[in-house]
Amino acid sequence: MPATDYQGSFLGRISIRRNQVMAMEGGHDQEVEDLEIFQRHVGDRFADLLASPTEDGNEVLLSIAWLRKLADMFLCCEAEFKALLMMGSDPSQISKPPLDRLIPEFLERVVKSLDICNAVSLGIESVRNFQKLAEIAVSALQQRPIGDGQVRRAKKALNSLITAMMVEDKDHSNGKSTERSWSFGRRSAASNKERAFGQFRSLSWNMAKGWSAAKQIHAMSSNLTAPRGGESSGLAMPFFIMSNVFVFVMWALVAAIPCQERNGLATHFPLPRQLSWAQPMIGLQEKIVEEWKKKEKKGSPGLLFEMQRLEKLGQSLIEFADSFQFPAEAESLQELKVQVEELADICRKMEEDLVPLQQQIREVFHRIVRSRAEVLDIYDQATKLSTPNV
């Protein structure tokens, strides 16, 4: 079910269940049941992500399709969390420990998530430009008969692609500013010329100087302690669960998409191994960390599956171009055809899915903004009710 449909059905459930809870003496039992359902749903959704198919499928780990699925999963979890909060928001409890501490900490994580959404959306712009360079190479290498001119044109585009990835990795890893030669929907004549000759650095806008994706993630994952005793059956648990969902989703997005300054993120952040809903999340974390450490040794702007394929095919085709002699042998042309077709297929998938992914990230951003306002409103009202009149 799409996230928007899921949210609509869940909000409808709120009104019905709220009336039911008010009419029942066992309201607490109902809250416990709702919490158990929420935990089960979170675990099931992450288990579905963990069960993504291999490279032959369409949702391989950290592919564009997988990230779109991740974004949908987040929106569903967020809708259900908000429903649970609205149903169980007892002002007398929200203004008392541990919620009087957990809610402000949660809101801080939310703000940091907004920054990460912006950084990821901008990083997707870089990926789209990697795609454009690959398309230039595909266009040149699909020409028949193929001659020196086509091979030189393809090699120039592929060298620019590999160089751009290396620059993106270096600048984003070290937190250095890059040139602003790309703006949303507009390109200057100078940037067109640079692109044609492959003489450009990063094509993404930048976050503020000194902004660090790694610091944001580390700050979000700090002070995450599982509720104990009676707290584990109250609203403290949904806040803890959703905080972990926030941290994981933002961390996975930063792992996949080029973002400014990511040093130190190829490590495990603490997840509650004793809780069943966290097990598939831990499994995903271990897989991503393994991939990150492998790519970190070689240097890479991100773990996005399609980017890794672009890089590998680009390097292979550059080797072909270096050894090309006209007329090419039939065996060499057949090998070239296979690689170019794979590169073209990746470009098509990127063309179809990168913009929708970017739109989903923006939807996540706006949903977070609305949810923050709603949680803040509930918290403020509870605080006012608990403050004695002077």
Tell me the three state secondary structure of residue 203.
coil
**Helices 213-221 and 99-141, axial angle in degrees (round to 10):** 150
Average pLDDT over residues 62-67: 96
Q: What is the pLDDT of residues 298-318, one digit of tens each?
A: 556 689 999 999 999 999 999
Q: Which two tokens stand for residue 34?
A: 């709702």
The secondary structure of residue 207, as a DSSP letter, is: -
pLDDT value of residue 268:
74
Q: Cα angle vertex 255, ends 247, 308, to 5°? A: 155
If one counts the domains in the chain, the total is 1
- Does pLDDT of 112 surpass 70? yes
- Token pair 């928001």 is found at 89
Q: Which residues of 45-70 are buried (b: 16+ CB within 10 A; e: fewer)?
A: bbeebbebeeeeeebbbbbbbbbbbb
Percent of the chain with pLDDT over 70: 77
pLDDT band at 68 (very low <50, low <70, confident <90, very high): very high
Looking at residue 22, its pLDDT comes to: 44
Q: Of 372, 287, 364, whose CA–CA distance to 117 is shortest?
A: 364
Q: What is the dihedral of CA 272, 274, 279, 282, to 10 degrees?
A: 40
Angle in degrees, 0-180, between the axes of helices 64-88 and 330-386, rounded to the nearest 10: 10
Q: What is the pLDDT of residues 236-295, one digit of tens each?
A: 999 999 999 999 999 999 999 999 888 878 777 889 999 999 999 999 999 999 988 887
How far is it, in rounded angstroms, from Cα 91 to Cα 96?
Answer: 9
pLDDT digits (tens, 9 = 90+) for 16-63: 454 444 444 455 678 889 999 999 999 999 999 999 765 555 689 999
When the pLDDT of each residue in the chain is averaged and rounded to a whole number, the result is 82
Is residue 116 very low, low, confident or very high in pLDDT (cuts 50, 70, 90)? very high
- ∠ CA 12-363-276, nearest 5°, is 65
Section 352-381 average pLDDT? 94
pLDDT at 374 over 80: yes
How far apart CA 377 and CA 245 sit, in angstroms, is: 22
Report how far residue 212's alpha carbon sits from residue 116's, in angstroms, rounded to the nearest whole number: 9
Task: Find all residues with CB under 8 Å of 343, minimum gap 6, and list them.
Answer: 134, 137, 138, 309, 310, 313, 314, 317
Angle, helices 305-322 vs 99-141, to 10°: value is: 30
Q: How far apart are CA 159 and CA 315, in angstroms?
A: 8
Tell how far CA 369 is from the center of its chain.
17
Per the structure, the complete domain to which residue 72 belongs is given by: 3-20+28-386
Per-residue pLDDT at 89: 63
Q: How far apart are CA 226 and CA 237, in angstroms?
A: 7
For position 75, what pLDDT does the model report? Answer: 97
For residues 89-108, average pLDDT: 85
What are the helix (H) ranges across the chain?
3-23, 27-50, 64-88, 91-94, 99-141, 148-174, 189-197, 213-221, 236-256, 279-298, 305-322, 330-386
